[in-house]
Amino acid sequence: MNSLVLRKTALGRDVAAKHAVASTTGRLSPQQKPARLRRRGPGLWAALALLVLAADFLLAHLAWLAVDFVMR
């Protein structure tokens, strides 16, 4: 059990040391860099809005047909 505790402590020190080195240099390693999202143009957002609107109209039409079918 003591060796497990010592290994976890040593691992924690290694991680802390790597973090301290990264913070003192002011740079992040390539693995730590956050993923940058590419900016999406307004055309893509307009197309997405039209797609959602078309799906909404389609569902509304199908609901209208279902109600009409049940009411007959």
d(CA 7, CA 51): 55
- Is the pTM for the entire model greater than 0.85? no
Q: Encoding tokens for residue 36? A: 């940058």
CA 59 to chain centre: 28
pLDDT band at 65, cuts 50/70/90? very high
Domain locations in the chain? 1-31, 41-72
Going through 1-72 in order, the beta strands assigned E by DSSP cover: none
Higher per-residue pLDDT: 42 or 7: 42
